[in-house]
Amino acid sequence: MPLPSRLTTEDIPDLCQKMRGTLLTTIVNAKMGHVGGDLSVIDILGTLYFSVLRVDPTDPHAESRDRFVLSKGHCSVALYTTLAYAGFLPIEELASFAAPLSRLNGHPCNRKLPGVETSTGPLGHGLPVATGIAIGGKLSGADWRVFVVVGDGELQEGSNWESMMSAAHQRLDNLTLIVDRNHLQQGDRTSAVTSMEPLAERFAAFGWETHEVDGHDHAALESLLSSPNTSGRPRCLIAATVKGQGVSFIRDRVEWHHKVPSREQLAAALDELEVAS
Amino acid sequence: MSELFDCRDAFVATLEELAEQDPRIVAVVNDSIGSSKLTGFRQRWPERLINVGIAEQTLVGVGAGLANAGLKPFVCAASCFLTGRALEQIKADIVYSQAQVVLCGISSGVAYGELGPTHHSIEDLAWTRVLPGLEIIVPADPVETAAAVRYAYAAEGPVFLRLSRVGVPRLLDQRYRYEPGRAHVLRDGADLTLIACGVMVHRALEAAERLSDLGLEARVLNLPSIAPLDRREIVRAAQQTGAILTLEEHSVRGGMGSAVAEAVVAEAPCRMKLMGFEDFAPTGEANFLLDHVGMSVIGIVDAAQRLVGEPLVAK
């Protein structure tokens, strides 16, 4: 199955910068969106869609496709932007995000948009579903893989820990979980709400093959995400990210969870990203 | 007294019959192998019995994922935990996402009578009935259970099968086929209609016989398809008999009776009474509890007489 694009990892950083500009513009036009988390996860999504996932926008339901689940569904604009650049929808359609009757809901819906595997939004749903997909893949003897991205704050949902135990017990080495570890949640720093450290040790203790990686380093992400998993265990990447990465006045600030930039702020952000508006 | 059947037996027999023909069928459980009567299934197809542990949110999410992977999951758990603990997963992962999953709510209603209200499932219809695109089936006997399992297997969207373990007599002919949105007149009558589902259907039939002895001819409607609803048959009953008494092993709020009332009030207002549970039930065996809240055969006869005899409220 062809990759959505023939980009090399050298091209991906540039592409992700461009997607940052597109998602910011989309949010400002729609007057809504989760800007901080979108900027935090976009390098992970760009790496997945342009160098890892075997998906085909012309055949989005192909049985043999890799599956990707964005559990932190509030970062839909980052997903829609990536899917648009990957050819699943026209880039111009991003202008309809959150518009009345648009198929680009505030949270992604699989029944509306091909390329979305399951509808997400409520937190703690993605890993259980991805676990089921991975079990299904094993039962079918399929060689496709399952990838799921959760936010770090989202790990406060108990359903994740249920599934972590179950996935390890089922030895799902076809499942990869990526934690977008930006240390911020809607209302505060995660460490101020419910501390999760030592997170890597916790995953390891739950029986996962665990890696820590820079979530903005495309080459490092690509290398880990593409490498075969022969451990007999599900794989976890704790991706160190910064919420609002790429835009200095948004970067690592709690208040930018879902605040919408002004037109002037957008211009300044695009300038900083060196992207033409 | 006719022979009584535990409908779980018809459920697993049919499931195994289908699983023999279709290797995509898998059963997913939350440690509920014995209570779902899946021990035989596990012996035959150990790899197709997926036990996620005591983890209902994962149970339902895994069901959705298995469907995404091209399998045919039957997610089996005690109805109280399946619907209560994992309601948001049912809403988002199964129904909103239209995952082709069969949710099997085992031992629904007050089947776990002695275990108390934590284990009773008299809220499940109310919780699931509001989810658009979820078909809900409450079979009344082993024949209807088997038919419902076959239907749910072939259905294009998600289905909630509400199954009981309380003994019921066989009521339907072996040729019976389940049809969504179809209620069945089991006995005709012109004076009032008893609408029942699940374990209440045989009680409704017995009550209708007693009523006939007392000079009242009750129509009895078996209503296994809670969603979609047979509005035509319900409206016909309202118009032709002028009074409807609903009987369900569920809260009187939000269940089958409420669904019937919604159709009646919109299209053919008539006298109505909803029988079921008004409160958390006390402890006791299931049939005792049904009697206790007024749904013994005599209790139903009494309620029917009152309903027909009551003057309409004057304007």
Note the pLDDT tens digit of each residue in B122-174: 999 999 999 999 999 999 999 999 999 999 999 999 999 999 999 999 999 99
Closest partner CB to B88 (pick from A117, A122, A127): A122
List of domains in chain B: 4-169 (3.40.50.970), 184-309 (3.40.50.920)
Chain A closest CA to B49's CA: distance in Å?
A: 11
Q: Could you tell me if residue A86 is inside a domain? A: yes
Q: Could you tell me if residue A196 is inside a domain? A: yes
**Confidence tier at A5 by pLDDT (50, 70, 90):** low
Q: Is B98 on the interface with A (CB under 8 A)?
A: yes
CB–CB contact B65 A119 (8 Å): no
Q: Is A131 on the interface with B (CB under 8 A)?
A: yes
CA dist list (Å): B81 to A152, B61, B95: 28, 14, 17
Which residue on chain B is closest to A118 by alpha carbon? B97
Q: Is B237 on the interface with A (CB under 8 A)?
A: no
CA dist list (Å): A220 to A5, A43, A168, A253: 19, 11, 24, 25
Task: State yes or no: pLDDT of B314 exceeds 80.
Answer: no
**pLDDT digit string (tens) for A219-258?**
999 999 999 999 999 999 999 999 999 999 999 999 999 9
Task: State yes or no: pLDDT of A200 exceeds 90.
Answer: yes
Chain A closest CA to B40's CA: distance in Å?
A: 20
Closest partner CB to A128 (pick from B48, B62, B69): B62
CA dist list (Å): B184 to B77, B195, B219, B224, B232: 28, 10, 10, 9, 11
Which CATH number do you get for residue A60? Answer: 3.40.50.970
Q: Could you tell me if residue A233 is inside a domain? A: yes
Q: Is A158 on the interface with B (CB under 8 A)?
A: yes
Reported pTM: 0.96
Which residue on chain B is closest to A142 by alpha carbon? B69
Q: Could you tell me if residue A4 is inside a domain? A: no
Which residue of B87, B97, B100, B156 to mutate against A (max A Cβ within 10 Å)?
B97
CB–CB contact A136 B66 (8 Å): yes
Considering only residues B245 and B310, tell me which one the structure prediction assigns the higher pLDDT.
B245
Task: State yes or no: pLDDT of B312 exceeds 60.
Answer: no
Task: State yes or no: pLDDT of B50 exceeds 80.
Answer: yes
CB–CB contact B69 A109 (8 Å): no
% of chain A with per-residue pLDDT over 70:
97
CB–CB contact A118 B50 (8 Å): no
Which residues from A are below 8 Å from B69, CB to CB? 67, 132-133, 135-137, 139-140, 142
Q: What is the ipTM of this complex?
A: 0.95
pLDDT at res. A2: 47
**Confidence tier at B313 by pLDDT (50, 70, 90):** low
Which residues from B are below 8 Å from A125, CB to CB? 61, 88-89, 92-93
Pairs across A and B, CB distance < 8 A:
114
Mean of pLDDT over chain A: 95
Residue pair A228/A176 in contact by the 8 Å Cβ criterion: no
CA dist list (Å): B21 to A141, B17, B57: 19, 7, 29
Chain A closest CA to B64's CA: distance in Å?
A: 6
Q: Is A165 on the interface with B (CB under 8 A)?
A: yes
Task: State yes or no: pLDDT of A106 exceeds 60.
Answer: yes
Return the SS3 of A3.
Answer: coil
pLDDT at res. A1: 47
CB–CB contact A132 B65 (8 Å): yes
Q: Could you tell me if residue A229 is inside a domain? A: yes
**pLDDT digit string (tens) for B198-247?**
999 999 999 999 999 999 999 999 999 999 999 999 999 999 999 999 99
Q: A1-15, A143-157, B79-93, B121-135 — which is least confidently predicted? A: A1-15
Chain B (15-44) residues lying within 8 Å, Cβ to Cβ, of chain A: 26, 28
Considering only residues B207 and A8, tell me which one the structure prediction assigns the higher pLDDT.
B207
Q: Could you tell me if residue A92 is inside a domain? A: yes
Chain B (114-153) residues lying within 8 Å, Cβ to Cβ, of chain A: none
Chain A closest CA to B135's CA: distance in Å?
A: 18
CB–CB contact A163 B50 (8 Å): no
State the pairing for strand pair B225-227/B135-137: antiparallel
Which residues from A are below 8 Å from B99, CB to CB? 118
**pLDDT digit string (tens) for B261-288?**
999 999 999 999 999 999 999 999 999 9
Mean of pLDDT over chain B: 96
CB–CB contact B68 A139 (8 Å): no
Closest partner CB to A132 (pick from B48, B55, B64): B64
pLDDT at res. A277: 45
Task: State yes or no: pLDDT of A57 exceeds 80.
Answer: yes
Task: Show the domain range for A209.
Answer: 12-273
Q: Is the peptide bond before B228 cis (omega within 30 degrees of 0)?
A: yes
When divided into structural domains, chain A yields a total of 1
Chain A (27-86) residues lying within 8 Å, Cβ to Cβ, of chain B: 63, 67
Q: How far apart are CA B162 and CA B96, in angstroms?
A: 20
Chain B closest CA to A245's CA: distance in Å?
A: 30
Sheet holding B218-222, edge to edge: B184-187, B218-222, B192-196, B243-251, B271-277
Q: Could you tell me if residue A1 is inside a domain? A: no
Which residue of B66, B88, B94 to mutate against A (max A Cβ within 10 Å)?
B66
Which residue on chain A is closest to B72 by alpha carbon? A136
Which residues from B are below 8 Å from A158, CB to CB? 57
Q: Could you tell me if residue A212 is inside a domain? A: yes
Q: Is the dihedral of CA A71, A74, A80, A86 positive or negative?
A: negative
- Tell me the DSSP string of A57-109: TTSTT-TT--EEEESSGGGHHHHHHHHHHTTSS-GGGGGGTT-TT-SS-SS--
Which residues from B are below 8 Å from A142, CB to CB? 69
pLDDT at res. A9: 72
Which residues from A are below 8 Å from B47, CB to CB? 139
Token pair listed for A26: 């989309």
Residue pair A71/A124 in contact by the 8 Å Cβ criterion: yes
Residue pair B104/B76 in contact by the 8 Å Cβ criterion: yes
